[in-house]
Structure 1
Amino acid sequence: MMKLFMGCVFATFNPVGIPLDLKPIAEYDIEYSGIEEQHRIIDLLTRMGFHFSATCIPYILRRPRFGEHLAWGESSAVGIANSFFGAYTNKEGGPLALLAAIAGVTYNAGLHVKSNRKPKVQVMVPCPKNEVDAGLLGYLVAQKTDEIPAIQCLGRWCCGFSCFKAFAAAYASFSHNAHFVVTGISPESSKIEGDNKIVVSEDEVEMVREKFSDVDINDVEVFYTGCPHTTLGEVFRIIRLVEKARTMHGKRYEVWVGVPGYYVLRRWWPEVRDYAMRRGVKLLAGTCPVVMDVKKFVDSVATDSVKAAFYLKVRHRLDVRVSTLEQYLGLEGNE
């Protein structure tokens, strides 16, 4: 009977609890449990018709269409689907998303209904300069309103899609909403009825930055970037920055990067993985410290992801610091 339903929709699965290539973390000499069980689950999913993905950025495998109905469960991806591509999806739990993939349909409620997608409050924010700023703004907006917000930058949104992704990850993690509208970027209208307005100040951003920073940048054991996952182009940018810092400062840095799991199936993977490792960059394929048993490896981490900082601090009890990679590498002034 399962075969009758296979292939109904394009289906992917989220990051898993272990790196799909253990070589980058082999030097830690830590026994990892659950490897066979995790691969058995992946095998079952792919036999059901899921694409081998293991990533929180499924939109790089298939771009959502405007107005298309989806049933996605990864919170940051839901935010991107709704707010950047204009697709329609609620923030689903795993069982419901699985059933929707099998059946090929989902329920017509919540953000699948056009009238429920209209922003109700305008939020004025300072323009983010980097991914950390964007994540902090996502957290603040989620804390300040329960309504769908129309985000208006005081200036130009000048740090591209990576900042949009960081905002979406933080906002969707701290809000029950899975949709927001950024004026000038989101495809849906940012017009609101009435004059309901909220302002986020630079001072509030700095206060929250301190909230997510309880260790000095010079005392962390590792820097993590890749929540949400990074693409191959971003990986090479990270490697170049690490190489530049090593040349300038004559020291070795420990940088972990979360990347999509399906990369391990590509012919270029071993060469890229080893090239990165030689420069102190460890590519964690198909996973993320948020879902790994990361406490076995480190006790402190710096990250450019507000979402990761929260979960690493609360779930894994790590000391965290929100920081850009450039700040960690000493390529710009630490805050």
Structure 2
Amino acid sequence: LHLDENRKATLVVDVRCTPQSWADFGALGYLVGQQAGDQVPYFRFAPAQRPCLDELKALGAAMAASGAVALYHVHDVTPEARLGDVVEPDAATLTIESLDDGYRALDGTRPAVDLVWIGCPHASLMEIEQTAGLLQGRQLTSRLWITAHRDVIREAKARGLMEPIKKSGGRMVADACLLGAPLEEMDITSIATNSGKAAFYLRSRHDVQVRFGSLERCVEAAATGVWPA
């Protein structure tokens, strides 16, 4: 991929639905990764939709999990796609009409939630800020852990974002990934997450039930102990 000729897109992804949440971008990434394998996708979203960095992160992480995508382009968003034509003339086309199949594959059915995990890949300041806002004034029934880089946690603390998380019963965990944690020894049998990557890998690495959905649904599950209907 350090060679220009290997960075050309070989698969055009025509996204005809409108992803709204980080979980939506994770579901999209899961679907595309399954089809793309190790190809280089080129995404075309609706003209008004310009994914932010956190949405691109969720998309790329899920594609690398369900497939082997190491590089992708987004029309008029990513640097090379803004500079010129990066699509091979004979590139195939994949059309995504709905995210439903992605959610059906990643989301389970068990109502009870032992732990909510935010931050796979590690949470950004934006993710921490939104989680803190949703936790404001609430008390948690289930455990909620946010994994992030220690520098991001330090900045979150400086901005006053840690207080509502700690007051609710949530926990920040630095420089860690729960995919390598001894979940069974911690009596964790069900996890909710808004990460497509986490939802994909948790099933293969641990004997746990997984619920997958938006950050709002994850926080609600942490507050009530049950995945919202």
Q: Under TM normalisation by the shorter chain, which class is it?
A: 0.7 to 0.9
Does structure 2 retain, via aligned residues, the 8 Å contact 1:260–1:285?
yes
TM-score scaled to structure 1, two decimals? 0.58
* 2-structure distance, mates of 1:130, 1:263: 21
Report the equivalent of 1:153.
45
Report the equivalent of 1:210.
104
* 1-structure distance, mates of 2:43, 2:128: 29
CA drift at 1:156: 3.2
Larger Rg: 1
Partner secondary structure for residue 256 of structure 1: strand
Partner secondary structure for residue 80 of structure 2: coil
Matches within 5 A, 1:172-211: 172-189=64-81, 190-194=86-90, 196-202=92-98, 205-211=99-105
CA drift at 1:183: 0.7
Does structure 2 retain, via aligned residues, the 8 Å contact 1:120–1:148?
yes
Partner secondary structure for residue 193 of structure 1: strand
Partner secondary structure for residue 219 of structure 1: coil
* From 165, 168, 173, the counterpart of 1:276: 165
Cα distance, 1:283–1:159 mapped onto 2, change above 3 Å: same
1:255 and 2:144 matched = yes
Does structure 2 retain, via aligned residues, the 8 Å contact 1:122–1:192?
no
* 2-structure distance, mates of 1:179, 1:240: 33
* 2-structure distance, mates of 1:300, 1:255: 12
Match of 2:108, as an amino acid? Answer: D
Matches within 5 A, 1:288-327: 288-297=177-186, 298-327=188-217
Cα distance, 1:179–1:313 mapped onto 2, change above 3 Å: same
* 2-structure distance, mates of 1:191, 1:233: 32
* 1-structure distance, mates of 2:153, 2:93: 47
Q: 1:83-138: CA deviations, max 9, x gaps?
A: xxxxxxxxxxxxxxxxxxxxxxxxxxxx0111100012211122311111101111
1:141 and 2:37 matched = no
Report the equivalent of 2:224.
none
% same residue: 25
1:231 and 2:124 matched = yes
Cα distance, 1:163–1:334 mapped onto 2, change above 3 Å: farther
* 1-structure distance, mates of 2:11, 2:57: 21
* 1-structure distance, mates of 2:65, 2:196: 9
Matches within 5 A, 1:84-99: none
CA drift at 1:241: 0.3
Match of 1:196, as an amino acid? Answer: A
Match of 1:136, as an amino acid? Answer: A
Report the equivalent of 2:174.
285
* 2-structure distance, mates of 1:323, 1:119: 29
Match of 1:231, as an amino acid? Answer: S
CA drift at 1:242: 1.3
Does structure 2 retain, via aligned residues, the 8 Å contact 1:129–1:159?
no
Residue segments in structure 1 that go unaligned for 5+ positions in a row: 1-110
CA drift at 1:193: 0.9
* 2-structure distance, mates of 1:251, 1:282: 11
* 1-structure distance, mates of 2:61, 2:180: 15
* 2-structure distance, mates of 1:251, 1:123: 40
Q: How many aligned positions are there?
A: 216
